[in-house]
C-alpha cells in the first residue's frame, strides 16, 4: 500500500470511523515497508480508543497478532500516545457508528 493511500484511509478512519479504512490501516501495520508501518501506526493513534478497539477486534479475529500490535504501538514506548495497560482493553466491541 502506498503512503498516499494510507493518508486517505487515515482521514476516513479518523473523521468518519470508516471500518474498511481502519482495517486497511491494520493491514498496513504488517507491511514490509517501514515507512508504511510507521504511517499506519501514526494514523491509528489519531483514532484513539476507537483504534484500540479495532486493533483488539483484529487480534481476536486473527488478522493481527498481539506482538504485531505491541510493536506497532510501541516501537519506542515514549513515542506512542496509545496505552494498553489492560489486556481487556483490546477486546471491547467497537461501538456502531
24 within domain boundaries: yes
Domain assignment present for residue 70? The answer is yes
Tens digit of pLDDT for each residue in 18-74? 999 999 999 998 888 888 888 898 898 888 888 888 888 998 988 888 877 777 666
Alpha helix (H) residue ranges in 1-97: 3-16, 19-28, 34-46, 49-60, 66-73
Is the confidence at residue 75, as pLDDT, over 60? no
Spatial distance between the Cα atoms of 6 and 8, rounded to a whole number of angstroms = 5
Range of the domain at 61: 3-91
pLDDT in the model for residue 97: 45
Tell me whether residue 96 is in a domain.
no
CA dihedral 85, 81, 77, 5 (to 10 degrees): 120
Domain count across the chain: 1
In a domain, 21, yes or no: yes
- What single-letter DSSP state applies at residue 86? S
Amino acid at each position: 500500500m502506498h503512503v498516499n493511500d494510507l493518508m486517505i484511509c487515515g482521514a476516513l478512519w479518523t473523521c468518519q470511523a470508516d471500518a474498511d479504512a481502519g482495517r486497511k490501516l491494520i493491514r498496513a501495520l504488517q507491511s514490509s515497508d517501514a515507512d508504511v508501518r510507521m504511517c499506519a501506526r501514526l494514523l491509528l493513534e489519531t483514532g484513539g480508543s476507537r483504534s484500540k478497539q479495532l486493533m483488539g477486534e483484529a487480534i481476536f479475529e486473527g488478522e493481527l497478532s498481539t506482538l504485531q500490535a505491541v510493536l506497532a504501538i510501541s516501537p519506542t514506548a515514549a513515542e506512542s500516545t496509545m496505552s494498553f495497560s489492560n489486556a481487556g482493553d483490546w477486546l471491547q466491541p467497537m461501538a456502531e457508528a
